[in-house]
């Protein structure tokens, strides 16, 4: 079992005729993802890598039965694309686009949660998700991952790849890997996904990759403390970042005493979550956790 998507999930690419949309569509197809259509206004009737292009999401869903969408649309058009996907009834939407104005995204997320509560939005400004060996919905390098039993939730794309690579070297695979995005306002947060992984029988342990800024990690730690029995390891990026300075992601900014690496680390430790001091340590902590879990059966 995988969460959110699997090899049978029918995927639509919004912005398929653009450079990034076309390039990553090809990579997703090579990985085995079931891409059934794409959209690009005014270019309906064309094909990209053998995939039919439609003018609207409504038309594409009606013709292909698409269930999920990946948005590769430029920032100024991305919200229109997002609303179009939601209104067409797609249950899973992954917004890769970076640079959407924060205030506009905040209003969009609030509107979607109220009017379409069953819709799962990943992103924006995210690498998507991958179920190793099944499907790749986004821009993650498929060769880094392998099938296994550890779920990864991350705010950082490159750290996800690094830690997954270290895990594979240690003989550990992944059930589902999700990059939630680095913006201050995102559709799906750590707590939402931890709930899903906690209910997934294939996922035996969790790896959470956080960073400075916001309080998502502290809230995740509290939820883990109260609800999760599976082994969890965490890594927090930005431990040496100066207060008040944005570091990389738009959401990685410390305000006052909240959102610091130390506050997040302390919250996880209080919840019984072991925190890696360096990215490569997460894999070895997980390996020991899974070994202990196996012997306790």
Q: Does residue 91 sit in the same domain as residue 209?
A: no
pLDDT band at 238 (very low <50, low <70, confident <90, very high): confident
pLDDT band at 255 (very low <50, low <70, confident <90, very high): low
pLDDT band at 290 (very low <50, low <70, confident <90, very high): confident
pTM of the model: 0.93
User: Is 50 exceeded by the pLDDT of residue 117?
Assistant: yes
Residues 277 and 212 in one domain: yes
Is 24 catalytic? The answer is no
Mean pLDDT for all residues in the chain: 92
Return the closest-CA partner of residue 279 out of 178, 170, 186.
170
What share of the chain in percent tops pLDDT 70? 92
Average pLDDT over residues 112-128: 96
177 plus 291 within the same structural domain: yes
Mean pLDDT of 27-45: 98
Is 60 exceeded by the pLDDT of residue 237? yes
Confidence band, pLDDT 50/70/90 cuts, at residue 259: confident
Strand order in the sheet with 47-48: 47-48, 51-54, 35-39, 11-14, 68-71, 92-95, 120-122
Residues 104 and 200 in one domain: no
Tokens of 89: 């009834």
Give pLDDT, residue 295: 47
Q: What is the DSSP string of the chain?
A: --SS--TT--EEEETTTSHHHHHHHHHHHHHT--EEEEE-TT-TT-EETTEEEESSHHHHHHHH---EEEE---HHHHHHHHHHHHHTT-SEEEE------HHHHHHHHHHHHHH-TT-EEE-SS--EEEETTTEEEES--GGG--EEEEEEEES-HHHHHHHHHHHHHTT--EEEEEE--SSSS-SS-HHHHHHHHHT-TT--EEEEEEESSSSHHHHHHHHHHHH--S-EEEEEE-TTPPTT---SSTT---BTTBT-HHHHHHHHHHTT-EE-SSTTHHHHHHHHHHHHHHHT-
Q: Which of 23, 49, 107, 249 is catalytic?
A: 249
Q: How many folded domains does the chain comprise? A: 2
User: Could you tell me the two tokens for 34?
Assistant: 């079931």
Report the DSSP pairing between strands 35-39 and 47-48.
unpaired
Going by pLDDT thresholds of 50, 70 and 90, the confidence category of residue 263 is very high
If you average pLDDT over residues 31-43, what whole number do you get? 98
- Of 89, 122, 155, the domain-final residue: 122
5 occurs within a structural domain: no
- Residue 81 is part of a domain; what is its CATH number? 3.40.50.720
Asked if the model's pLDDT at residue 222 lies above 80, the reply is yes
CA–CA–CA angle 152, 143, 284 (5° rounding): 45
| Residue matched to tokens 């919250």 | 267
89 & 157 share domain: no
Q: What tens digit of pLDDT does each residue of 132-170 get?
A: 999 999 999 999 999 999 999 999 999 999 999 999 999
The answer as to whether 157 is a domain residue is yes
Residues 151 and 114 in one domain: no
Per residue in 162-216, pLDDT tens? 999 999 999 999 999 999 998 999 999 999 999 999 999 999 999 999 999 889 9
Strand partners, 174: 150
Does residue 6 belong to any structural domain of this protein?
A: no
98 and 154 housed in the same domain: no
Say whether pLDDT at 68 is over 50.
Answer: yes
Residue 96: closest CA among 193, 21, 41, 36: 21
Q: Does residue 249 register a pLDDT over 70?
A: no
Inter-axis angle of helices 216-227 and 190-198, to 10 degrees? 30
Residue-range definition of the domain harbouring residue 36: 11-122
CB 232 within 8 A of CB 209: no
């Amino acid at each position: 079992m995988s969460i959110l998507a699997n090899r049978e999930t029918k995927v639509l690419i919004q912005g398929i005729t653009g450079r990034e949309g076309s390039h990553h569509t090809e990579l997703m197809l090579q990985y085995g993802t079931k891409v059934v259509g794409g959209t690009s206004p005014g270019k309906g009737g064309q094909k990209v890598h053998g995939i039919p292009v439609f003018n609207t999401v409504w038309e594409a869903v009606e013709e292909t039965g698409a269930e999920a969408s990946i948005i590769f649309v430029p920032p100024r058009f991305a919200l229109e694309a997002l609303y179009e996907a939601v209104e067409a009834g797609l249950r899973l939407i992954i917004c890769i686009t970076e640079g959407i104005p924060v205030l506009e995204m905040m209003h969009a997320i609030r509107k979607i949660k109220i009017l379409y509560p069953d819709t799962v939005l990943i992103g924006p400004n995210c690498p998507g998700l991958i179920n190793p060996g099944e499907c790749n919905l986004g821009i993650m390098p498929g060769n880094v991952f392998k099938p296994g039993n550890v779920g990864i939730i991350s705010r950082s794309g490159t750290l996800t790849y690094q830690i997954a690579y270290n895990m594979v070297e240690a003989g550990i695979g992944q059930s589902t890997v999700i990059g939630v995005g680095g913006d201050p306002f995102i559709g799906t947060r750590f707590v939402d996904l931890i709930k899903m992984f906690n209910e997934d029988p294939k996922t035996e342990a969790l790896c959470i990759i956080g960073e400075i800024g916001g309080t998502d990690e502290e809230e995740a730690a509290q939820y883990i403390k109260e609800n999760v029995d599976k082994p969890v390891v965490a890594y927090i990026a930005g431990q040496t970042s100066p207060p008040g300075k944005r570091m990389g992601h738009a959401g990685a900014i410390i305000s006052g005493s909240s959102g610091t690496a130390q506050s997040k680390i302390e919250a996880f430790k209080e919840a019984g979550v072991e925190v890696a001091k360096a990215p490569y340590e997460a894999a070895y902590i997980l390996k020991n956790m899974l070994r202990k879990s196996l012997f306790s059966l």
